[in-house]
Amino acid sequence: MTEPTAEPADPGGPRTATLTAAVLAEESRRQEAQTQRSEPLVLPDELLPAVGAAELSLRDTLRRGGWAIVTLAVLLVVIEQLSRETTNVLAPDIRAYFGLSDTGLMALASFGGIALVLGAVPMAWLADRVPRKYVVAGSAAGAALCLVGAALAGNTFQLFLAYSGIGLAAAYSTPVFGSLISDGYPLEGRGRIFSLHAMATPLGLALGPFTAGSIATLAGGAEGWRWAYLALAVPVAVLAIAALVFLREPVRGRYEQETVTGEVLDQSDRGGELPITIGTAFARMKKIKTFYFMCLGIGALGLALITVPLQLTLLLRDEYGYGAFTRGWILSLCQIPSIVAMLIAGRRFDRMYRVDPARTMRVAGYAIVAYGVLTLVALRLQQPALLLVCYALATAFTGMALVAVNPLVASVAPYRLRAQAFAIVPIFTFLMGGFLGALVVGAISDAHGQRVALTIAVPVSTVAGGYLFHRGARYLRQDISRAVEELLEEQEERRRIAADPQHTPVLQVRNLDFSYGTVQVLFGIDLEVARGEVLALLGTNGAGKSSLLRVISGLGIPDRGVIRLNGRSLTYAEAELRFRAGVVQLRGGAGVFPELTVTENLRTALLTTDLSPAEAKDRVDRALGRFPALADARQSRACDLSGGQQQMVALAMTLVHEPELLIIDELSLGLAPVVVQELLAVVEELKREGTTMIIVEQSLNLALSFADRAVFMEKGRIMFEGSAAELAGRDDLVRAVFLGETRGSR
Ligand SMILES: Nc1ncnc2c1ncn2[C@@H]1O[C@H](COP(=O)(O)OP(=O)(O)OP(=O)(O)O)[C@@H](O)[C@H]1O
């Protein structure tokens, strides 16, 4: 794209020198102001939710949030762990019954693990669309059925299906309970509630061998294991019903809203919001540095978390000759310190967070390193009892670190994205550190033994994990501040719309930052376009106009800020959904299918809509009717048309969608003046009809001739905003464009 044209200055004359000096002085003043503005926003403590607040007892936290969410979360996780432990503990019986090898059974069961991690993403998607109690109840009912399926399995394929189903049915737990706990309990007590949820995993692991072993022994015989699965199906089914009866859908982001804005924001229009996809959620969450470093840290730690128990089991078998049953018992006992540590850590987290939130994350980093050190010490010990005690202490430290993760995710993720954010974290643990790392560590272990493999893997994993947590802690205040800022902005906007609903802008961009990778190109953009208004977006080369349009149409996800269409947020909606909602962009010099005829091009543009053939034909006729120059060319192939006619076809292809907001990027680029006039006539007609438009145009005169208002951008910021007539009178800006071109071309 080229920049706006303007009257050339008198090159070389004293007037130019004075003007250049003035512009440069103005430029340095602006840059200074910009640097100040781009300082990351960090709010004072009293504005950060829960920081400096009075202590809230666990009892009061539960009184305010109710027992239902936490009770169901704990019980369902415990039973899910029990079912996994049943498979581990009763493996010899199951293996013998089906004539499977060790590896064969583990391979069958591991599909459940994969389904558990990858299933979290669609479950988060679901949790955003239906009340979460249905997701909990549905998943629990599914788990009950699959447990019955495992109990009745007649062959390995059926067993495989049942295990995968059990894994998939547990996939909702992290995103759905993560978001339910975040929305259901006040911030001051959230660490403790999350610690109860986290503690359910080691509790299930600790109880598993005892429960599974006892049931199988009681039932007796070669098929005793079936009773263990069947016995677990009953409580899960009961919990599914309990979820339907007792779970209430909490308002999303309720406690943050209450703390920050003093009220719970009206969510009645939530149904009108465009759904969030995991891709956009991931793109946005990745830009929240605390979250980014925490995910990397968890990913690195995943290497140790997954390989250590596995290698340790092998070590207990190979070096000490312990059988499967004994190993199961021993490793279960090793969970006990971690249960205690988690409960203590939840309490300490809440306390520490109230004083200094970043410290919670740094301490989690130290705990990860302590886990690494203790595991290494354990590996040096030959005495099995000492080795195991040391390892059990080590797991207590990871337990402490893990307790911090979910409440921290809750504090930095925008409340609309929380379910997805919770679903993303385990993917890092399992895929980055766990799956990839396990292969490497397995290979080292095969060649040099378990002690060597772990002595290499544990320091790498825990030092990297600890460091990444420590690093992420630097950004915590800033990221919490952003979440607060977004809530305040949302409150202000809702009030404004409520006070004057007639004047809700068609497009609203607030506080928008955008980066390509680490290079930030848009800074704090604020922009509104009223209904029926035509806004000219102007600026020098590389000012950020196209980037801004990309973010508006959903091709780029902002680091910060909000985009609304008619008052509803579409910040996290993907491009296609925005397009369906009416944000349609004409891209300069592109966009037609050369081999298709004009009419076919227009029909193709409507393929993704639900219009009836009659409606579609009507729209095509209406759009083409605006362009007399295309009257005789309807059956011509687009490639046989002139450049100007192709641009008309491209514009007609946008008009068939009857856009709510039409974005025109370079209408006149490379076209003859006579064609431009013809296109302009259509645009002016659209303006008379009340179409809301944003126009990026290289020709300043052209843009200002039909725009109501103009925005002038420079270096990713808006430098001027006002009526088109006013901009035409701002000699300095017009000349800055021109001087920019002169400097750039030298
Ligand atoms: N895909 C990309 N990756 C990295 N940087 C990019 C990318 N696209 C644009 N940029 C950078 O972003 C900044 C803004 O570019 P953008 O194209 O949005 O400006 P513009 O105002 O539309 O300029 P032009 O009129 O020249 O197209 C520039 O510094 C540019 O180099």
pLDDT reported for residue 470: 97
pLDDT higher than 70, residue 297: yes
Cα of 569 to ligand 1 centre, how many Å? 25
pLDDT reported for residue 329: 80
Which pLDDT band, with edges at 50, 70 and 90, does 332 fall under?
Answer: confident
Highest mean pLDDT among 334-343, 563-572, 650-659, 726-735: 334-343
pLDDT reported for residue 586: 84
Report CA dihedral (359, 360, 364, 366) to the nearest 10 degrees. Answer: 20
Q: Which H helix or E strand runs over 30?
A: helix 14-38
pLDDT reported for residue 4: 44
Average pLDDT, the chain: 84
Pairing of strands 709-714, 534-539: parallel
Domain ranges within the chain, ordered by starting residue: 66-259, 276-499, 500-745
Q: Is 436 in the pocket of ligand 1 (CB under 6 A)?
A: no
Which tops the pLDDT comparison, 232 or 503? Answer: 232
Same fold, 276-499 and 500-745: no
Cα of 546 to ligand 1 centre, how many Å? 7
Q: Looking at ligand 1, which atom is closest to the CA of residue 543? A: 21
Q: Name the percent of the chain lying above pLDDT 90.
A: 34
Using most ligand atoms within 8 A of CB, pick from 546, 555, 697 the residue to mutate for ligand 1.
Answer: 546
pLDDT reported for residue 16: 65
Q: Is 156 in the pocket of ligand 1 (CB under 6 A)?
A: no
The reply to whether CATH 1.20.1250.20 applies to domain 66-259 is: yes
**pLDDT tens, residue by residue, 187-207:** 999 999 999 999 999 999 888
**Strands in 621-704 per DSSP E:** 661-665, 692-696
Cα of 486 to ligand 1 centre, how many Å? 26
Question: Do you know the residue count of the chain?
Answer: 746
Q: Residues 165-186: what's their mean pLDDT?
A: 91
pLDDT reported for residue 614: 84
Q: Is 542 in the pocket of ligand 1 (CB under 6 A)?
A: yes
Q: Is 515 in the pocket of ligand 1 (CB under 6 A)?
A: no
Highest mean pLDDT among 290-304, 431-445, 581-595: 290-304
Q: Residues 280-298: what's their mean pLDDT?
A: 90
pLDDT higher than 60, residue 259: yes
State the residue for tokens 């003043």.
29
**DSSP state at residue 432:** I
Which pLDDT band, with edges at 50, 70 and 90, does 588 fall under?
Answer: low
ipTM, interface predicted TM-score of the complex: 0.97
Which tops the pLDDT comparison, 560 or 240? Answer: 240
pLDDT reported for residue 192: 96
**Strands in 315-420 per DSSP E:** none
Cα of 590 to ligand 1 centre, how many Å? 18
**Token pair for 313:** 């089991």
pLDDT higher than 60, residue 709: yes
Which tops the pLDDT comparison, 623 or 40? Answer: 623
Using most ligand atoms within 8 A of CB, pick from 5, 521, 522, 555 the residue to mutate for ligand 1.
Answer: 521
Q: Nearest residue CA, atom 28 of ligand 1?
A: 542
Cα of 510 to ligand 1 centre, how many Å? 20
Angle (nearest 5°) at CA 247 between 246 and 250: 140
Which pLDDT band, with edges at 50, 70 and 90, does 31 fall under?
Answer: low
Q: Nearest residue CA, atom 18 of ligand 1?
A: 544
Residue 459: CA atoms inside 13 Å, Cβ hemisphere, count?
8
The reply to whether CATH 3.40.50.300 applies to domain 500-745 is: yes
pLDDT reported for residue 241: 96
- Tally of CB atoms within 10 A around 114: 15
Rg (CA), the chain: 31
pLDDT higher than 50, residue 121: yes
Which tops the pLDDT comparison, 690 or 88? Answer: 690
pLDDT higher than 80, residue 328: no
Cα of 547 to ligand 1 centre, how many Å? 6
Cβ distance 3 to 737 under 8 Å?
Answer: yes
User: Of the candidates 143, 134, 149, 200, which has an alpha carbon nearest to the alpha carbon of residue 171?
Assistant: 143
pLDDT reported for residue 354: 92
Sheet holding 709-714, edge to edge: 583-586, 661-665, 692-696, 534-539, 709-714, 717-723
Q: Nearest residue CA, atom 7 of ligand 1?
A: 516
pLDDT higher than 60, residue 37: no
The amino acid at 60: D
Q: Residues 424-437: what's their mean pLDDT?
A: 78
Cα of 357 to ligand 1 centre, how many Å? 37
pLDDT reported for residue 36: 54
**pLDDT tens, residue by residue, 488-521:** 888 888 888 888 888 889 999 998 999 988 788 9
Separation of alpha carbons 417 and 325, rounded Å: 43
**pLDDT tens, residue by residue, 453-464:** 889 999 999 999
Q: Nearest residue CA, atom 26 of ligand 1?
A: 541
Q: Residues 532-537: what's their mean pLDDT?
A: 92
Q: Name the percent of the chain lying above pLDDT 70.
A: 90
pLDDT higher than 80, residue 300: yes
Who's near 709: CB < 8 A, 6+ residues apart?
A: 533, 534, 535, 536, 721, 722, 723, 724
Separation of alpha carbons 316 and 320, rounded Å: 5
**pLDDT tens, residue by residue, 339-374:** 999 999 999 999 999 999 999 999 999 999 999 999
Cα of 531 to ligand 1 centre, how many Å? 28
Q: Is 311 in the pocket of ligand 1 (CB under 6 A)?
A: no
User: Of the candidates 555, 561, 586, 551, which has an alpha carbon nearest to the alpha carbon of residue 661?
Assistant: 586
pLDDT higher than 50, residue 224: yes
Q: Residues 376-401: what's their mean pLDDT?
A: 93
Q: Is 543 in the pocket of ligand 1 (CB under 6 A)?
A: yes
User: Of the candidates 581, 529, 527, 590, which has an alpha carbon nearest to the alpha carbon of residue 554?
Assistant: 581
Per-residue b/e over 545-571, b at no fewer than 16 CB within 10 Å? bbbbbbbbbbebbbbbbbbbbbbbbbb
The reply to whether CATH 1.20.1250.20 applies to domain 276-499 is: yes
